[in-house]
Structures are given as structure tokens and as C-alpha cells.
Structure 1
């Protein structure tokens, strides 16, 4: 598991721009793997599309925000990536339904009933799932979640963003993030429970 975003030194905008390419290379090395997992899950396992979305997000980040610090890049990158994903999903929906422009196409489930729950904090997905589970098993289970639950879980549990930042990235309310995240955790616990030998109950 990669460490949380690291603090960067205070630098002037001109210095940040001059070192942008090197910083971007290091930034890409750190987040590409996790971003690809997220996009592959969101695009139903389309590796090529996931790669394109991640690369386009990096290009946009470098083009528009080269003067920002590396710390500022983390939420900016995932915001851009989320926007790229939503654009792709709209195009796919229009392609599947040629006349969908005559009606509103609902791609997200942010209108779901928001649960009155205390914000959950899960800095590491393995903290609430059995340690014996492999990353591949967890990723397969994540891929079965609705897209917005995937995003909420990955941004909160894998990237370590707080609820407020996650809501900004996903362009939704903090209440929606809490609900998506809560339901994702419950679904993952249920779908992976049969792999956990430490859960109670008979094995017969």
C-alpha cells in the first residue's frame, strides 16, 4: 500500500513550473497503479480505456496546473480523472441510446436516500477486511460495486482523502459520499465474508 500524500516544500510558482516535468514523473509513478485500478473497475475491466483516461488526466494536470504544489495535485488529479470518466460514461450512454439527448440520462446514483451515519474512517482497506485476503480478491469485489460506491471507497480507503475532499472530487455532497462509502464497505464485507476464516458460524 502506498503511503499517504507527502508534504512538499514551499516553492515559488516559477520554481514549481520549472520542475513540473520531473515532479509529474514522480507523481505518475506514485499514483498510476491505484488510478488504473479505479478506472478499470469503473469501466468494467477495459484496460485500454482506463489507460487513456489516466493518461488524459495527467496531461490535463500538467497543462493546467503545473504551477501547483505536488500536495495540491492529488485532489486536482482525481477531480480531473473523475470528470474524464463521467465524459466517457455519457458518450457510452449516448452511443447505446442514440436518442438519449431527448431525455435526461442518469449516470450516477447521488439521488439515493442519504443515510444518517457517522463518517467512517478506513485508512487501509485491509483494516476492515481479513488480512489473508489478497489485493486481487479485494479488487475483484470492488469491481462489482456501483461506480459511485467504487469511487467513494477507492478515494477514501485507498487514497486516504477525507469526506470533504472526496465530495469535491466526485462533485457531490458529503452526505452522498458517506452513504456511498458506507454501502461500499457493507457490500464488500458481505461479498468477501466467505473468504474470511475468522468470521463466526459453521464451516459446514
Structure 2
């Protein structure tokens, strides 16, 4: 007599698992392209490493947060991805500096906060540049920025996260996010000014 309830419970679990798998598939289709661009920029074009980091982040997300809603997945995924990137960067820093194993490795070469930075809002990466500048040219310029500036810009401009959420993802203060983002925009305007004669570079 217990057979029917057990079958029903099994069917419910199977249906729930199927729903989670489908949600994850849809989520991956939405964010994979942008996440790969972010990681390729941060690893100086190492596509294999970028793919590994993104895949590992998806696996961790599914393993630890499958019960969360899709909306909650976005900041969680990028937080996991950021942590994996920082781990990779530390390993690379120690590999290039063998004796750094015995001291703290600093990865944030531009982490000093600028006081009174206005929290600039850029809904579209092209909005603050002339439309003649292409996404490819912007991405090439982004790759030349320090990694933390890249992250701040990509998370704010590409993903549309607010300053508070970006700070949580990057594990830093909101002031640091504002500083990184401000410097990223200045750097991009300067790097792309020769392609965009109407902008005249940054006036800040």
C-alpha cells in the first residue's frame, strides 16, 4: 500500500530535478557568453582557462545553490566566478614569484579609493562612447585595464548590477567599486579616443 506514495514522491523529485536542470540550462545560455568575455579579458585572452573558470563556477552554483531562484543565481554565479578568478590569479602570482608563498600576494594594484567619486551609471557600454566604436574595440581596450577595473566595468555596464551588488560580488567596499568603475571609464575613454574623434577623451 506504500507503493503509490513512494512512486508519487519519486515522480515529484524527478520533476523538480528536471525543472532545476532546465532553469540552469536557460541560465547558462544567458550568461555564458558574457562570462567568457569577462574571464578572457581577465586572463589576457587565455580561452582555455576562461572556459575552465566559467564551467567550474556553473558546477559550484548547481551543487550549492540549485534551490535558489534564477534571479538569485546571477549575483551568486558572478561571486563564485570572481572567487575562482582570484584563486587562479593568486596561483599564477605565486608561480611567477616562488617566494611569495611565504607572504600575502596583493592582486589589487589600484585598490585605493578616490574620495567623493560620483557613482556613474552606464546602462550600455556604448552609451558613453560614439556609436562608431565597436564592441570588439571596446573589448580590446577593456583587456588593457587592470583586472579589478575590468570586473567593475563589466559587472556594472554589461550585467547591470548596482554598486552594492557589485561590491558583494567583488568582495570589496562600495567605494572601491566606484573607484574601479570611475577609473575604468576614464581608461576606456582615453584608450578609444583615437577611434572616436568626437569624444575628445575624458574631461575628468
Q: 1:195 to 1:110 in 2, by over 3 A?
A: closer
> Quick one: distance in 1 between partners of 2:199 and 2:67?
50
Q: TM-score of the superposition, structure 1-length normalised?
A: 0.88
Aligned twin of 2:8? none
Aligned twin of 1:176? 176
Q: Is the 8 A contact 1:42 1:150 kept in 2?
A: yes
- TM-align CA RMSD: 1.9
> Quick one: distance in 1 between partners of 2:199 and 2:110?
32
Task: Name segments (4+ residues, structure 1) moved above 4 Å.
Answer: 14-18
Q: Is the 8 A contact 2:40 2:47 kept in 1?
A: yes
Aligned twin of 1:82? 82
Instruction: Report 1:94-105 matches (<5 A).
Output: 94-105=94-105
Instruction: Report 1:186-201 matches (<5 A).
Output: 186-199=186-199
SS in 1 for 2:139: helix
User: Which structure is higher in RCO with an 8 Å CA cutoff and minimum separation 6?
Assistant: 1
Give the number of the structure whose alpha-carbon radius of gyration is greater: 2
Q: Is the 8 A contact 2:111 2:180 kept in 1?
A: no
Q: TM-score of the superposition, structure 2-length normalised?
A: 0.88
Aligned twin of 1:8? none
> Quick one: distance in 2 between partners of 1:92 and 1:16?
40
Gaps of 5+ in 1: 1-13
How far 1:97 moved relative to its partner?
1.4
Gaps of 5+ in 2: 1-13
> Quick one: distance in 2 between partners of 1:74 and 1:200?
36
